[in-house]
Structure 1
Amino acid sequence: MLDLFLPESMSVAVLVVLLAISFAASFITVAFGIGGGSILLTAFATLLPPLVLIPVHGIVQIGSNAGRFALMIRHVHWPAIGAFTLGSILGAGAGGALVVNLNPAWVQIGIGGFIIYSVLSKPPAFLRDWGGLTGAISSFLTMFFGATGLFVASFTKSLKLERRAHVATHATLMTVQHGLKTIAFGLLGFPFGPWIPFIAAMIIAGLLGTLLGRLVLTRITDQRFRRALDAILLLLSVRLIWAGAQSLAG
């Protein structure tokens, strides 16, 4: 039966591994606020062809984040959404239109360093006050780099929301961003069709992880949530910097 969800050249074993990772990634994102998108992107980078990596990751993330949004819609901090969306439209459009080759290593190092700075010190004022700029920068970068959820999480964290509002608002922002990215790749001619069954299976697995993660989220305090969020942000940022440095070193 799993054969129905297999893209060309993918084995059943690889599909099962990726479904398990999708479940775990969504669980981690809901329970602790961040991390799932980067984990999933790392798995995709290891197991999927490079040319499909960012487009397929983006549309899977639409499903995962839209599921979180639907389950937690009453906790969304709506004032943060409008300006971020307008900025994201500009950023995704610029990223799709410009024929550039950003070195992913420098992007990784830059984002990692910025997030560490934001966690260990007071977040820059623009993260709180200029949601449009955050949306534009992150949406531009996501066209080339894929996982900018850490960057967007710094913006969400700067709003100082309670844990449920943080998760719901971040899910809404990422749904917008990945949605615009997917539209841009579609306009650029990426063939999503053969990957639709696989994407659907990944989204379903992610939804199950979301449901379990929400149970954990309701049982922890805001203080513990923020500590876990900061710890995960720091660990993932160090990993980004390390991966970028390794790439530069060859």
Structure 2
Amino acid sequence: MQALAGIESLLPDGLSLGFAALLVVTAFFTAALTAAFGIGGGVALLAVMASVVPVAVLIPVHGVVQLGANAGRALVQLRQVVWPMLGIFTVGALIGALIGGQLVVTLPETLLKTFVGLFVLFTLWAPKVKGAKGGPFGLVVGGVFATILTMFVGATGPFVAALLAPRLDDRKQYAGTHAAAMVMQHGLKVVVFGFLGFAFGAWVPVMVAMVAAGFLGTLLGTKLLHALPEKAFRAAFKGVLTLLAVQLIASAAWVWLS
């Protein structure tokens, strides 16, 4: 009992031990999902956190946890990162962080969620034309928008996935590069929220536990990544991404209609 009381004393006000355990377990499974399919974990984790964590701290805390989870994923898949592509994306991400810091309290979240969902669906299902992969400029612009969006939506993995997937035919290169791009994006977001005055201190123990669980989930998911055939991976990837896009649009529509 004393041990439980000691753990509860480390938790932020209003978060029970049971809900804290739920967040840690969820971090494990969502990290495994992202490592295996290259997408999905961030949105799933955000959905669970939204029902447990106060709205005022949701995006900053989610950003720290996703930074840790993706850092672990990038470390495990480091050899697969396409560094020139990551560098171009990072240029856009830096610009997006500067702009996003100015807009973070002005644009409606529902509008951004709708935009992300429609963009992902268009990228996945629109007829492909020759040259549709785009050049470096498109990657820079994508980095700008992705980083602005993450300030509001939190989990923009589907956006970044839709940006990188057409440019990378190898699923392992895609997974590694996506992880590294998300590290850049979430890292910049955390810095911006720090400058805006968000106090992360009370949530440090919970975030550390979630990041550690996420790293273990990443190890499991990476094994699944190497075991999946390319065709099965692409089909699962497209299906998961489509469901996430529809969920984003539906959640935004629900807010508009309610």
The alignment's TM-score, normalised by the length of structure 1, stands at 0.95
| Matched-pair contact (CA < 8 Å) for 2:94–2:188 | yes
Matched residue type, 2:224? V
Percent identical residues: 41
Pairing partner for 1:43 from 19, 28, 48: 48
How far off is 1:125 after superposition?
A: 4.1
Distance 1:125 1:165, change over 3 A: closer
Give the letter for the 2:124 counterpart: V
Q: For the Cα contact (< 8 Å) 2:73–2:176, is it kept in 1? A: yes
Query: Is 1:189 the counterpart of 2:197 in the alignment?
Result: yes
User: CA separation of 1:167/1:223 partners in 2, compared to 1, >3 Å: closer, same or farther?
Assistant: same
Per-residue deviation at 1:100? 4.4
Contact 1:72–1:168 under 8 Å retained in 2: yes
The aligned counterpart of 1:29 is 34
Report the 3-state secondary structure (helix = DSSP H, G, I; strand = E; otherwise coil) of the residue aligned with 2:51.
helix
Deviates more, 1:37-46 or 1:120-129: 120-129
Verify: 1:112 aligned to 2:117, yes or no: yes
Structure showing greater Rg = 2
Q: Which amino acid aligns with 1:39?
A: A
**What CA distance in whole angstroms lies between the structure 1 residues aligned with 2:202 and 2:252?**
31
Q: Is the 8 A contact 1:85 1:135 kept in 2?
A: yes
Uncovered stretches (5+) of structure 2, i.e. residues with no partner:
none
User: For residues 5 and 225 of structure 1, do their structure 2 counterparts lie closer, same or farther at Cα, with a shift above 3 Å needed?
Assistant: farther
Task: Give the Å deviation of 1:128.
Answer: 6.8
Q: CA deviation at 1:161?
A: 3.1
Which residue of the partner structure matches residue 239 of structure 1?
Answer: 247
Going from structure 1 to structure 2, the CA distance change for 1:76 and 1:90 (only over 3 Å counts) comes to same
| Gap change, CA 1:190 and 1:54, over 3 Å in 2 | same
Q: Structure 1: which 5+ residue stretches go unaligned? A: none
**Distance in 2 (alpha carbons) for counterparts of 1:4 and 1:19:** 17
Give the TM-score normalised by structure 2: 0.92
Q: CA RMSD in A?
A: 1.6
2:63 counterpart (52, 55, 58): 58
SS of equivalent to 1:218: helix
Contact 2:88–2:136 (CA under 8 A) maintained in structure 1: no
